[in-house]
């Protein structure tokens, strides 16, 4: 009877340890491969590169975290984008397509860009 009790106690303790071991900071690689339809980012406009048709965004970070910025990214803009509306220093919110988020190349394609 005592060995059955020890087994039950071990199961309870292992469940408690597993629940407390989960990291509160999500892994960026897992987030980039998620299957949701969009990702949300925040950043600061650093100008527009006409040759790439991209908004240069500094301090890009995921919108739902207050983590460390990912760096400066070239954000390929949607079709009806007016670069004059986003001068350097403008705080922006970007809705992006997950499959285009290339963290190693610092490039992503925006579905929508708006002021934050």
27 located within any domain: no
Q: In sequence order, what are the residues at sequence separation of 6 or more whose Cβ sits closer than 8 angstroms to the Cβ of residue 85?
A: 115
11 located within any domain: no
Q: Which range marks the domain in which residue 68 is found?
A: 32-115
Number of domains in the chain: 1
59 located within any domain: yes
Separation between Cα atoms, residue 101 and residue 6, nearest integer Å? 49
22 located within any domain: no
17 located within any domain: no
CATH number of the domain residue 63 falls in: 2.40.50.140
In the structure encoding, which two tokens stand for residue 96, read together? 């992006």
Predicted local distance difference test score (pLDDT) of residue 75 = 95
84 located within any domain: yes
26 located within any domain: no
108 located within any domain: yes
pLDDT in tens, the chain (116 residues): 788 888 888 888 787 777 665 555 555 555 555 555 888 999 999 999 999 999 999 999 998 877 788 999 999 999 888 998 999 999 999 999 888 899 899 999 999 999 98
């Amino acid at each position: 009877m005592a060995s059955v009790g020890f087994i039950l106690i071990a199961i309870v303790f292992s469940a408690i340890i597993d629940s407390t071991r989960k990291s509160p900071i999500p892994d960026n690689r897992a987030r980039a491969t998620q299957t949701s339809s969009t990702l949300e980012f925040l950043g600061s406009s650093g100008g527009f590169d006409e040759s790439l048709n991209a908004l240069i965004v500094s301090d890009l970070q995921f919108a739902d975290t207050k983590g460390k910025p990912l760096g400066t990214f070239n954000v390929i803009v949607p079709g009806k984008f007016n670069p004059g509306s986003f001068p350097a220093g403008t705080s922006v919110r970007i809705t992006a397509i997950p499959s285009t988020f290339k963290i190693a190349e610092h490039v992503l394609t925006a579905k929508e860009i708006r002021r934050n």
